[in-house]
Amino acid sequence: AAPASRDAAFGIVVLIGLHLWRGSSYWDYSEGVYALSSRLFLHGGDLYGHIVAAQPPGLFAVGAGILGLHDSLGWLRLVLGVWQVAGGVLSGVLVWRLTASRVAAAAAPALTLLTPWAVHAHGELLPELFGAPLTIGILLAGERDRAALAGLLAAVAVGFKAPFVLPAAVALLCTRDRWRALSWGAGWLGAGALLSVLIFGGGLWRDVVVAQLHSGHRRPAYVAQAVWGVLGLLVPGAIAMWQRQRSSDPRGVVALAALSAAWLVTILSTAKIGTVLNVMVPIEGVLVPLGLTGVVLAWRADRLRGLVASAGIVFVLAQGLALVAYPDRTILPFLYPGVGRGNWGRADSSDTVDASVAAARVCPPGVPYSGGPFVAFI
């Protein structure tokens, strides 16, 4: 396999740049909720009791673990950014197995960080950051006939967010020993669910399932932006399927395409109030290795196909960089045509956040804070 250290090099450079660019800026309401809930859980808070939590306990356990080492926003974001790079390295390993292209494998970690919604959610404590690395890990474990490990990764994925059960199950079905992997997955998941109920009681079911089902629905306007964000990856991804016989592992290309399709189905969850376009992060994460595979296979076929596939990668990269350049007044090509500037952009700059934090610190000790959880966390 291509050396992981070399594959990670470009990703680490991008990570440092994004970490410095992001600072303490405020992007997503959920980040503050999950970070503050994780801290409360770390210090003995009653998760799924006095602390309402809309996700399974895996997210809060990881958040508490990171904050237990050092409690700050910068540290939390840095560790999660490193996790994103690690997911990109796994993508690079997968690309190497499918194409034997060192260039494509080395590009995977950096591109994983620079897709538009990965930039939007960079370094945030969100369940979506864990979806793609874990399910790609299932495919890699399955290729080595490690059914128990594949099943464990599937159960862990569902432990971050319940809808991850669909792509996790599809990934298990794509392993070489699928029925054994599914059996391990069901066993791990059952054991985790039983342990969670014993620890957290009925509040877990109430918060994660019942409350989510009763949150209401919105018009699926988000779907247009979601599809626009992955068009650049869908084109070379389709070419990868078309040209899969040129791959060193055609079966592996089909498995990755099936996993990508399963993740694409989760776009439908944005019709539920409370689910936002962070769902695009794992979708982009699995489409990156598929798209890079498509580029390599397209160039092996002929120049025209290679140019078309490469144009798709350039387009998605331009979307991510446009968000970096214009985080407040978002523009094309990050936004789909016809949408007014400013949608899905940064809520507050680092300077504005710092001013809000300074104002909050004036509050006397013991007085409940009425502002947002992000400022409260800082």
Res 2 pLDDT > 60: no
Q: Pick the residue with more confidence: 15 or 366?
A: 15
pLDDT at 43: 97
Residue 199 CB coordination number (10 Å):
11
CA distances from 317 to 60, 90, 114, 152, 313 (A): 31, 19, 6, 33, 6
Backbone angles phi, psi at 47, to 5 degrees: -65, 135
Which pTM was predicted? Answer: 0.95
d(CA 229, CA 121): 14
pLDDT at 195: 95
pLDDT at 6: 67
Helix (DSSP H) and strand (DSSP E) numbers for the chain: 18, 0
**How much of the chain exceeds pLDDT 90, in percent?**
84
Nearest to 240 by CA among 179, 284, 288, 181: 288
Res 218 pLDDT > 70: no
Backbone angles phi, psi at 376, to 5 degrees: -60, -40
Find out whether 61 and 259 touch, Cβ atoms under 8 Å: no
Question: Based on C-alpha coordinates, what's the Rg of the chain?
Answer: 20
The region of weakest confidence among 4-8, 187-191, 311-315, 363-367 is 4-8
Res 191 pLDDT > 90: yes
Question: What is the rounded average pLDDT of the residues 176-204?
Answer: 95
- pLDDT band at 342; cut points 50, 70, 90: confident
Question: What is the rounded average pLDDT of the residues 252-259?
Answer: 98
Longest dimension (CA), the chain: 69
d(CA 256, CA 136): 8
Question: What is the rounded average pLDDT of the residues 314-342?
Answer: 92
- pLDDT band at 9; cut points 50, 70, 90: confident
Structure confidence by residue, pLDDT tens digits, 344-361: 999 999 999 999 999 999
pLDDT at 5: 61
CA distances from 91 to 83, 87, 105, 125, 166 (A): 13, 6, 8, 21, 20
Question: What is the rounded average pLDDT of the residues 359-378?
Answer: 91
- pLDDT band at 217; cut points 50, 70, 90: confident
